[in-house]
Amino acid sequence: MHDADLMGQLKEYRAIMVAYFRVHGLLPILVSAGQRVGDVYDPDQQWALLSTAADCFPGLAEPAEIPTELVHTVDIRRGHVAAALGLGRILSIAGTGKRERTVKLSFTHATIRRVAQMALRKALCAECGYLLPLIEGKTQDYDGKASLPFVVGTVLHAKRQIFVGADAGAEMKASAQQLGSLSSALRVLDLDPTLSAGLGYGGERGLLLQSEASLPVALAPAFLPKLIFDRTQGGVGIPDQPIAVKWVAAEQKDADGPAWPDGWVHNLPLPLGADA
């Protein structure tokens, strides 16, 4: 597989995940790296980790892990399977080439950790004073050019499950052997139409791929402000000067979820992949 084709598939998968988690008010985690509540990232630098929860919020108690549900499946393509399962290469799911195979992704055994803004304010240490404008809405000069950090307030963990429709048993078994050899933490089940129908996959014969690991799959910021500037009136030829930053509720593009800044979405790190 050419690099251009690989990047095209990964970007397509990223767009699908952004759209799916947006309705839940979350941003997808495409590269799981133990993200935790209280971690601080720079979304304008490929989500560089600025500080951990222990660095800036040393007294912050670990939030309780609460079971939750993500009830909808996501339609993806064969080329997205490796990225969805966090595997380090693109998979070649056997196929006849006559039609695009049914591939559905779902998240199971989901749990969520969430911290209150008040708890973050109380736990902030002096060494991380650069976060004060964000978490307390402190008045300060701000020209809008510097990036604001992203303080993680919510992390969703889940296992991933993928159904891959197939036309023939021999074809499925070959795919199962290939997939099973790539990851010991991956279960591959051969589903007949009856089992497939019982699990909500339309009575189609296929493979069910189940990741055994529960990993961070989505997150949300604790603070999502819209910046409004109070300004002093400048004289002739002198621009107005910002004197304050106010924090208000985030704008909504529609009723489905928050309007994430474009930079956040475009700079999400893509999953690693390799030529098949």
Domain extents in the chain: 3-138+147-226
| Whole-number pLDDT of residue 108 | 93
What's this model's pTM, rounded to 2 decimal places? 0.81
What is the per-residue pLDDT across 17-53, written as a single tens digit (0 to 9) for each?
A: 999 998 888 999 998 999 999 999 998 888 999 999 9
Q: Which one is predicted more confidently, 37 or 173? A: 37
3-state secondary structure the chain: CCHHHHHHHHHHHHHHHHHHHHCCCCEECCCCCCCCCCCEEEHHHCCEEEECHHHHCCCCCCCCCEECCCCCCEECCHHHHHHHHCCCCCCCCCCCCCCCCCEEEEEEEEEEEECCHHHHHHHCCHHHHHHHHHHCCCCCCCCCCCCCCEEEEEEEEEEEEEEEECCCHHHHHHHHHHHHCCCCCEEEEEECHHHHHHCCCCCCCEEEEEECCCEEEEEEECCCCEEEEEEECCCCCCCCEEEEEEEECCCEEECCEECCCHHHHHCCCCCCCCCC
Q: Which one is predicted more confidently, 271 or 13? A: 13
Most confident among 95-109, 138-152, 214-228 (mean pLDDT): 214-228
Q: Reply yes or no on whether the pLDDT at 259 is more than 80.
A: no
For the chain, percent of residues with pLDDT exceeding 70: 68
